[in-house]
Homo-oligomer: A and B are copies of this chain.
Amino acid sequence: MGAIDDLVAELARLPGIGHKTAQRLTFHLLQQPRERAERLAATLGAVATRVHPCPECGTFTEDARCTVCDDPRRDATLLCVVEEASAVPVVERATGFRGRYLVLGGRLSPLEGVGPEQLRMALLRRRVASGEVREVILATNPSLEGEATATYIHQLLDGTGVKVTRLARGLPVGGDLEYIDGVTLSHALDARQEVP
């Protein structure tokens, strides 16, 4: 059963999916019309070949620029800095934010060998140096590494004259932005505070 075992093994490599779940998913797909698995394969292939980071913000996009960067009505003076691209749709859905984004592509983590060079700090500086940005909103995760990353960026932007704010405390410490309910996130955005 080569192909079946291969699929189980590939699925089991996904986060939160163990061997038993992978097996269950595989047999589920086998019991569906063949088109289901083919469509899933096609969408995966499309994502793998067509999706790339937006050169201006780092969000994933299929186009030359992402929909936010491409929208002239978005407020270019507000720049929301997030760790991962997955946080962008979360902020978009949960809040009324109409500014732009910058996706760092991770967080500072010396233990995992992630320094400023591994993140989009140069892009952030370029965006700020362009003079358009008036306020940088730090929306890194409320974790130890997220806080360290926010502190680093605050120091990085020191002297640029740009206002640096961060999402209000109230986010549960140790939480992950992706799993926070929209109301809390909206409150946190509204009550964002200037870094002293």
Contact = CB atoms under 8 A, between A and B. Distances in A.
A38 B45 contact: yes
A14 B23 CA distance: 12
A61 B15 contact: no
A15 B25 contact: yes
A70 to B, nearest CB: 12
Interface stretch (A26-34, A154-162, A166-174, A183-191): A26-34
Contacts of A24: 15-16, 86, 178
Q: Ordered nearest first, which 9 A-B pairs have the shortest CB separation? A: A41-B44, A37-B48, A27-B86, A3-B46, A41-B45, A41-B41, A7-B43, A6-B43, A38-B48
Interface in A80-94: 84-86, 89
A29 B44 contact: yes
B10 A16 contact: no
A30 B60 contact: yes
B39 A10 contact: yes
